[in-house]
């Protein structure tokens, strides 16, 4: 069931291979391991995608693709999972990362007002970058580990459930 679900939500291979931003990877996108749906590739894709979702940089999808290729995990899932941090969820995620970093470093919280301008990025971010990046790294790592473990457990549960159903059906056929 897990494999069927992921197969249903994944984009077509050709769509990804011919995506204009992913053309920088060239023939690397033709590796069949990047398109497999198995426990290892899907759980690894969750780890890569969720970790990159907390990277506070633009072009997270390209970073996720660049990480998926050497780890040989499912590329479409890795790229799609970075959308956990989208324009709606990004402010609370990154504010939470900042708060976590402040708590971990035991620093006083610096009041700031975010403004989406180049000026704020060059001056306002200078006061909060250390706890912000630490929080992003910790949250990204934690979500990657949790996503990896969750998918592995879910996949295992589905396999055991299907095995038990087959065993029950087989025993019913024998009794007939």
**Among candidates 86, 77, 79, which has minimal Cα distance to 36?**
77
Cβ-proximal residues to 91 (8 Å cutoff; 6+ apart), any chain: 114
pLDDT at res. 140: 96
**Could you say which DSSP state residue 108 is in?**
P
**In which residue are the tokens 């000026």 written?**
119
pLDDT at res. 176: 63
**Among candidates 56, 30, 78, 17, which has minimal Cα distance to 139?**
56
Using one digit for the tens of pLDDT, what is the confidence trace for 82-133? 999 988 998 899 889 999 999 999 998 887 776 767 777 777 777 888 999 9
**Among candidates 142, 125, 131, which has minimal Cα distance to 108?**
131
pTM for the whole structure: 0.79
pLDDT at res. 144: 97
**Among candidates 19, 106, 4, which has minimal Cα distance to 65?**
19
Provide the b/e sequence for 35-55 (b: ≥16 CB within 10 Å).
Answer: bebebbbbbbbbbbbbbbbbb
CB 29 within 8 A of CB 75: yes
Region 130-149: what's the mean pLDDT? Answer: 95
pLDDT at res. 16: 65
Using one digit for the tens of pLDDT, what is the confidence trace for 1-49? 566 666 666 666 666 666 676 677 777 777 777 888 888 999 999 999 9
What is d(CA 95, CA 91) in angstroms, rounded to the nearest whole number?
Answer: 6
| In the chain, domain spans | 2-175
CB 136 within 8 A of CB 97: yes
Q: pLDDT-based confidence at 81, cuts 50/70/90? A: very high
């Amino acid at each position: 069931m897990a494999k069927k679900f992921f197969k249903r939500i994944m984009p077509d291979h050709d769509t990804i291979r011919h995506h204009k931003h992913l053309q920088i990877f060239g023939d690397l996108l033709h590796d069949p391991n990047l398109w497999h749906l198995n426990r290892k590739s899907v759980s690894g894709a969750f780890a890569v995608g969720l970790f990159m979702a907390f990277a506070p940089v633009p072009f997270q999808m390209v970073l996720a693709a660049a990480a998926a290729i050497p780890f040989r995990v499912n590329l479409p899932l890795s790229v799609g999972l970075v959308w956990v941090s989208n324009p709606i969820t990004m402010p609370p995620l990154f504010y939470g990362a900042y708060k976590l970093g402040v708590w971990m470093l035991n620093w006083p919280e610096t009041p700031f007002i975010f403004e989406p301008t180049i000026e704020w990025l060059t001056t306002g971010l200078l006061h909060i970058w250390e706890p912000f990046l630490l929080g992003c790294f910790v949250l990204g790592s934690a979500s990657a580990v949790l996503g990896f473990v969750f998918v592995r457990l879910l996949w295992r549960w589905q396999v055991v459930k299907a095995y038990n159903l087959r065993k029950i059906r087989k025993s019913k056929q024998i009794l007939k």
